[in-house]
Amino acid sequence: MTPKSPQESVVPPETTEVPSPETGPADNQELGNAELEQLLDQYSETAITSGEIRPATVVNLTADGVVVDLGLKSEGLVPLAEFSDEKGQPTIQPGAQIEVLIEGHEPKEGYVPCSSEGAHRLKLLREVESAYREQRKLTGRVTGRVKGGLQVEINLPGAHPGRRPLDAFMPGSQVDIRPVRHWEGFLNRDLPCRILKFNRRRGNLVVSRRLLLEEEQKQRKKLLEEVLKEGAVLPGTVKNLTDYGAFVDLGGIDGLLHITDISHRRLTHPAEALKSGQAVQVKVLKVDKEKERISLGMKQLEPDPWQAVPKKYPVGERVRGRVTHLVDFGAFVELEPGVEGMIHVSEMSWTKRVKRPSEVLNEGDLVEAAVLDLQPREQRISLGLRQTLPDPFKAIAERFPPGSVVKGRVKSVTEFGAFIELEPGVEGLAHVSELSWDKKLKKPGQVLKRGQEVDAKVLKVDVLNRRLSLSLKDLTPDPWATFASRARVEQVVHGRVVRKTNFGAFVELAPGVEGLCHSSEIPGEDGAGVEVGQEHDFKILKINPGERRIGLSLKAMTGENERRAVEQYRNNQPRSAATLGEILISKGQQPGGPEKS
């Protein structure tokens, strides 16, 4: 029987034999079915075509090989070595779908000889031949450097592990447009290439990357000259994403879509709005023909939400939004897509000194805030969180009027004073000059410590600038005022020299009260007549309450001492004709000189 091609349908021959009376219809039906089955068996066997590539399903793995279902009467057998790794372990399991090459017409030991490697090799050769004829682009992997160029492997996409590729040669002159200096950068890379020469019989395959680069270069120049104009809107495809933006293929030339030009809303990464392979519409923002750099934008094709911001978010308006991210100095809040405002840490609480925004807010929180400042040109909105809450400072002027005495706790001590908390959110500053009447006090830490409970007097309340001035020394009498109220010019006072300067000596007359004895009022040259720690009687020359100054004189006490000595002598002695000199000598003084110590 002449075998039929697989395309021809098998039709059983019609019978013209008339059944005999002894033969019933059932017997004739059975004979017809048997003949039909025989014809089908014969057809199935003859349908095996050597050299044909057929799809197959792995049925079983045996010691003889991999048994596959070919969809024929007989199963196929693929050598086990084609599906084993270096350790001899199988790389395929029953149920897997593969393609095999039929290697024989007749089954051997019940199996049709097949080869998966042969099918792969044949398909790969056909693909290379087709690409060579049509001058299509292929992808090759550089496996090493050889004399004169690079060794490249060409394989089918998605080939089963272990399937051998075709070896190709890429001459050094065909690797790049410019001479290559660092060959290491090409090793183990997949490079697009075009076939220059292919001889199937000799296995000679030569490829070029340079041809594709030159074509791309011509295409880029053509696009730059004819199509890519600033302001043009073009279709493109996202090629790849980076931290700073996305590269978009415009049909032969790539442009950069910076992350800030993707959307009006804030993005931390381009992947939040784009993905590789996505088709997009972009606007050409800038073209540098010399460097072949193209800047693209997507948000420029959308309405700018900031144009309506002045009307929608006037200063003083309360708004709602979601916290997008936190920074050291505050939190950014999205009011609508593309419009964000910033809450500074200083505007988060009336009662807490916020150091980090995370102490009050978290990313994703829905918050209500007040618009404090608006700068549409700079696209900035300043928001306040605490402005939506009652301000405890507004009642301060009524609760703590100037002159009232308050209690508080020292919150912090600085070089210039101490901050005293009167209640949560209300702090006052006691300047170092208001801590004590003693002028020797230079550092607040000498009299105050953090956490200390103190009483203070309110000096001034500035609600607008949220400042409260306090004084601790005003709770005690002013020693200077007390002294000044009792002292008078020409009065003799006793004091101790506490420090000397080039213009005189400062004398402590009472705790918290000092006077100045100028150098011209001190006996001796340049004030050498006194030393720190000495005590003397001084005469008050002047008192200036406005400037809190007392002028003293030690020289003036010379005549005063003489007068006192004469007066005392006269009071203690009977009347005599003694002279003044004699009286002074009797008191241990020289006439016209200071008293001897």
pLDDT for position 486: 86
Residue 88 has pLDDT above 50, yes or no: yes
Averaged confidence pLDDT in the chain: 82
pLDDT tens-digit readout, 350-361: 877 888 999 889
For the ranges 46-55, 168-177, 521-530, 561-570, the one whose mean pLDDT is highest:
168-177
Give the span between the Cα atoms of 24 and 12, in whole angstroms: 21
pLDDT for position 552: 92
The beta strands (E) that lie in 474-547 are given as 492-501, 504-510, 513-518, 535-544
Is the Cα torsion angle 481, 455, 415, 353 positive or negative in sign?
Answer: negative
All domains of the chain in start order, with CATH? 1-13+29-47 (no CATH), 53-120 (2.40.50.140), 135-213 (2.40.50.140), 227-301 (2.40.50.140), 305-388 (2.40.50.140), 392-475 (2.40.50.140), 479-554 (2.40.50.140)
pLDDT tens-digit readout, 230-260: 888 888 899 899 999 999 988 777 889 999 8
153 close to 140: Cβ distance less than 8 angstroms: yes
Residue 373 has pLDDT above 60, yes or no: yes
pLDDT for position 64: 86
The string over 261-295, giving b where at least 16 C-beta atoms fall within 10 Å of a residue's C-beta and e elsewhere, is bbbbbbeeebeebbeeeeebebbbbebeeeebebb
pLDDT for position 28: 46
Please indicate whether residue 433 or residue 152 has the higher confidence score (pLDDT). Answer: 152
The beta strands (E) that lie in 243-392 are given as 245-249, 254-258, 279-288, 293-297, 318-327, 330-336, 339-344, 366-375, 380-384
pLDDT tens-digit readout, 472-504: 888 888 888 888 888 899 899 999 998 888 889
* All residues at 6 or more sequence positions from 500 whose CB lies less than 8 Å from its CB, including other chains: 506, 527, 530, 531, 532
By percentage, how much of the chain surpasses pLDDT 70? Answer: 85
Output the six-digit token pair for 379. 């696209």
Average the pLDDT over 178-201 and give the result. 89
How far is it between the farthest Cα atoms of the chain?
Answer: 201
Cα angle, residue 438 at apex, residues 432 and 441 outer, rounded to 5°: 45
Angstrom CA distances, 5 to 8, 35, 46, stand at 6, 20, 8
pLDDT tens-digit readout, 426-436: 888 888 888 88
Residue 589 has pLDDT above 60, yes or no: no
* Residue 106 neighbours by CB distance under 10 Å: 10
Phi-psi category of residue 496: left, alpha or beta, with phi > 0 → left and psi -120 to 50 → alpha: beta
The beta strands (E) that lie in 16-96 are given as 53-61, 66-69, 75-78
Is residue 356 classed as helix, strand or coil in its secondary structure?
coil
Residue 570 has pLDDT above 70, yes or no: no
Is residue 414 classed as helix, strand or coil in its secondary structure?
coil
Cα angle, residue 527 at apex, residues 522 and 530 outer, rounded to 5°: 75
Residue 27 has pLDDT above 60, yes or no: no
